Structure 1
């Protein structure tokens, strides 16, 4: 395997994009507005959560791409995946429509971006699995970071709306990580298992994979399965120290149109 091509890559292939930095700036400003109660608190919460969710989406896909790059697929850098530019992780339906619908209707964080990885050049099955693992693991790590202030009892200062928004954003990260760890074809959890399947099972997997996320979404509409899902989310949140009532308050504030 040749590495000469890597050294020829421009620095821009690894530099955070201006769009991503702009979203981070919006997240910081909206966070300050929410903390101080500046302006319309519901608009502040909406901007804070929406920007934070977009950042987590970029980090989710960046994690996939970074592990793939380290594992042998250097083309991910050429595709712009290592710039954290959300426009590079796009799929018309999965990237925008479904995540927005689920966020607005059900308060569920559904990562919708996509990175294309050339699995034929990945060095081992372990690394191939780690590529899929990295995305939802990033959501889980992000959730833990957001929950730390609650666990340490630091949620006393600022406007209460800020802590409600932070709790809701953490809740979204938990839903995203759990959904993506489901061993469904076409979802990160299923892709994690794919390298270890027999060729026959891999062929069947590939037939189902294009519809895997849609099938998972359909299952969530079932009151029974949806109820189980939220029980798991709340149980994990409680174990990590996330105040579930604050996450609910944050969701109500987020829905400024209602």
Structure 2
């Protein structure tokens, strides 16, 4: 009796899109429709749901990119861990992967994903492949940001509802901040992961103890008023290159905080 069909079924289950992810995507679609159609007199809660669910979708895609790149680079255990299902509950650290990034958005309008997928690096040969695995996540945020900014760049959004455009601009801003911050060469972030394979073993050993604090360090630095102002000036400048007004992103953040009067 052949076992090939069983193996194929197992592989299919390992890459089947999770109902959890589909549910999050559905919330994004429905809340986006509610904002677009002005379904409720006060659209702020719908905007909150749209942005948070959209942010979670991008987090799942970010980690999926890491996992898929790792799989094609030699880590054949990725599928069995559930990373290819886009299910955020399969991540190795739900606090860093989902909870903290959402808290950062709510607390300060900052998009900063955390590390989530566990890659068995010993299975992967070649420093370039290791760098590509780390770069795959932030590049996904770049692509997501570009997709969100296309309506502004092409002028297609000129006749769209203002509240929806504000929500779209704020979500795009989160993607831009996520891409830029996560590319910083700070231990614990993907930017450091890109460079790490090229560092000497001695340097790696010295830096390793600080990796668990990298995410919080970056967030803490951004709370310094002078740094925060310069950082967001740079973010708005980047968004301006793609014809996204910073005023829309600011308005989107105001609407997003529905609990504020």
Q: Shorter-chain TM-score category?
A: over 0.9
Deviation per CA, 1:103-135, whole angstroms, max 9, x where unpaired? Answer: 112111121350000111112110100111010
Pair 1:19-2:11 in alignment = no
* 2:156 aligned counterpart, secondary structure: coil
Deviation per CA, 1:185-223, whole angstroms, max 9, x where unpaired? Answer: 111000110000001111112121111112212211222
Match of 1:52 among 44, 51, 54: 54
- Uncovered stretches (5+) of structure 2, i.e. residues with no partner: none
* Whole-angstrom CA distance in 2 between matches of 1:237 and 1:101: 23
The Cα shift of 1:23 comes to 1.2
Task: State the aligned residue count.
Answer: 255
The Cα shift of 1:245 comes to 0.7
* Whole-angstrom CA distance in 2 between matches of 1:96 and 1:57: 8
* Whole-angstrom CA distance in 2 between matches of 1:210 and 1:118: 18
Asked if structure 2 preserves the Cα contact closer than 8 Å seen for 1:237 and 1:243, the reply is yes
Deviation per CA, 1:127-184, whole angstroms, max 9, x where unpaired? Answer: 1001110101100110001000001111133421111100100000001111100000
Mean CA deviation greater in 160-169 or 109-118: 109-118
- Uncovered stretches (5+) of structure 1, i.e. residues with no partner: none
The equivalent residue for 1:210 is 212
* Whole-angstrom CA distance in 2 between matches of 1:115 and 1:22: 21
* Whole-angstrom CA distance in 2 between matches of 1:90 and 1:241: 38
Asked if structure 2 preserves the Cα contact closer than 8 Å seen for 1:36 and 1:158, the reply is no
Match of 1:124 among 126, 142, 145: 126
* Whole-angstrom CA distance in 1 between matches of 2:123 and 2:32: 42
* Whole-angstrom CA distance in 2 between matches of 1:43 and 1:14: 33
Mean CA deviation greater in 182-191 or 200-209: 200-209
The correspondence of residues 1-258 of structure 1 with structure 2, limited to 5 A, is: 9-39=10-40, 40-112=42-114, 114-258=116-260
> TM-score with structure 1 length normalisation?
0.93
* Whole-angstrom CA distance in 2 between matches of 1:215 and 1:60: 21
Deviation per CA, 1:55-97, whole angstroms, max 9, x where unpaired? Answer: 0000000000000000000111110000000111252532344
The Cα shift of 1:100 comes to 2.8
* Whole-angstrom CA distance in 1 between matches of 2:92 and 2:55: 15
The Cα shift of 1:8 comes to 7.3
RMSD between superposed Cα atoms in Å: 1.8
